[in-house]
Amino acid sequence: MEYLGLVAWIVAFALAVKWARSFRKRKYDIVGQRRYYYILSAIILSICIGSLLTRGVKQGLDFTGGSIVEAGVYELTTPAEIEEALNKFEPTDFKLGDIAIQTSTDMVPDEHPEEGKPAEFQRIILRLTNDTGTQLEPAQTREILDYLSSELGDLKELRTASIGPTISDELTYNAIKALLWSLVLQLLYIFFRFGNQLRYGIATDAALVHDVIIMIGLYSLAGREIDSPFVAAVLTVVGYSVMDSVVIFDRIRENSNNWWAEHGYDEQIPYADIVNQSVGETMTRSINTMLTTLITLLAIFYFGGSTLQNFAFSLLVGIVAGAYSSICIGAPLLVTINNRYPVNPLKTSSWGDLDDEVVPEDFMPDSEKATPAPPRPKKAKAPVPKLVDDNEPAGDGGRRRKRGKRS
């Protein structure tokens, strides 16, 4: 089933490349169709927000606290078999709460094999909490490992760790703070980068919020856990989406300045046409950049193992949403803002041009302006002495020609 999904991605890549190349020969009215893009985004955002309000998000141990157990089994097993075994587990003085299970897809070499044990094992990772949602005690973790050893065969204990509620609350606070600070700093950067025009920063941040809500909402719909790598993926997508938006906005500014330079600063600029032209000129570049990034992420998602699939999935969703929002949300928002607050050209100073050179005569009255001086008479050149030979007299101002010695 996974390979069918990979084939579907390859077909989608081929269609996207063909569509991107068509922008070199055909003009699409993307800005003129912005109403439909707004409606599509509103539907997607409504579904994501509805899932967040009704189902919420499944938080990982990084945000809820709990215990993590990493071990190796010497026979291939599945998460379903481990979950079935844990459902039969009857602890002595505690009850298990949330359980998350991850397994590698194949056997990995054991770098330090024990005597009499196989030289390779399958890695399994258990994320566990008790019925109160907190971490397990070391003795309770030991009891779970002993039980799994009796059910699944010999185990090799690799790592155990616990995260308390205080640390999880701090991680949640830092994650939210990092996201908010990134949005504020992006707004300020775009504001100063594009001539102190706030419209570019507002359009950029609106597209970024659009991407973040879609990422979290699809995680809620898919029932995936949000952990620290997910926060890293969100911040990565924020940076990627801004990069794409800056390229498009810079082309819009360049084409706007060229139009004003050709038609004059007093003319009303056809801003929608300029934005649509700029999007079309950068579309091939934007799609190709997105596809090259997605190729790497798909390789991680399908062949990177269960530990990296969650991170790759979040980046896949975010990169696609970021490319869409930069083209179909950010740029059209500039036109929507311009309809209410028309853009004004930033006239540059012409001081220092040759036509505006200041000379002293400009400050003198017309009657006192100096008249150009008459040309000076050319001096007569002094006569050149005439050269004479040795056997001729050096009269009449002549001089003898010097001869070199013959060898």
Residue 331's H or E segment, with its range, is: helix 331-340
Model confidence at 196: pLDDT above 60: yes
pLDDT for 281 equals 87
pLDDT for 165 equals 63
Residue 104's H or E segment, with its range, is: none
Model confidence at 74: pLDDT above 60: yes
Average pLDDT for 122-132: 83
Which stretch, 33-47, 122-136, 233-247, 293-307, has highest mean pLDDT?
A: 33-47
Do 11 and 308 form a contact (C-beta atoms < 8 A)?
no
Whole-number Å distance between alpha carbons of 323 and 226: 23
Which bin fits 264, alpha (ψ -120 to 50), beta or left (φ > 0)?
Answer: left
User: For residues 319 and 349, which has the higher predicted lDDT (pLDDT)?
Assistant: 319
User: For residues 82 and 385, which has the higher predicted lDDT (pLDDT)?
Assistant: 82
Model confidence at 407: pLDDT above 70: no
**Helix residue spans in 95-227 (DSSP H):** 138-152, 165-193, 198-222
Tokens of 305: 């193992």
Model confidence at 82: pLDDT above 70: yes
Domain residue ranges in the chain: 2-60+168-340, 66-163
- The pLDDT confidence band at residue 333, using thresholds 50, 70 and 90, is very high
| Integer-rounded Cα radius of gyration of the chain | 38
Average pLDDT for 174-199: 85
pLDDT for 354 equals 42
pTM: 0.69
Model confidence at 47: pLDDT above 90: yes
Tell me the residue length of the chain.
407
Cα dihedral sign for 299, 303, 308, 313? positive
Tens of pLDDT along 149-171?
888 888 888 888 877 666 567 77
Task: Give the CATH fold of the 66-163 domain.
Answer: Alpha-Beta Plaits (3.30.70)
User: For residues 392 and 362, which has the higher predicted lDDT (pLDDT)?
Assistant: 392
- Exposure pattern of 185-210 as b/e (b: 16+ CB <10 Å)? ebbeebbebbeebebbbbbbbebbeb
Tokens of 331: 């740029």
Nearest to 253 by CA among 333, 343, 124, 351: 343
Model confidence at 60: pLDDT above 90: no
Whole-number Å distance between alpha carbons of 62 and 59: 8
User: For residues 379 and 19, which has the higher predicted lDDT (pLDDT)?
Assistant: 19
pLDDT for 2 equals 58
- Which CATH class for the 2-60+168-340 domain? mainly alpha
Range with the poorest average pLDDT among 92-101, 121-130, 270-279:
92-101
Tens of pLDDT along 240-269?
888 888 889 989 988 888 888 888 777 788
φ, ψ of residue 156 in degrees (nearest 5): -115, 115
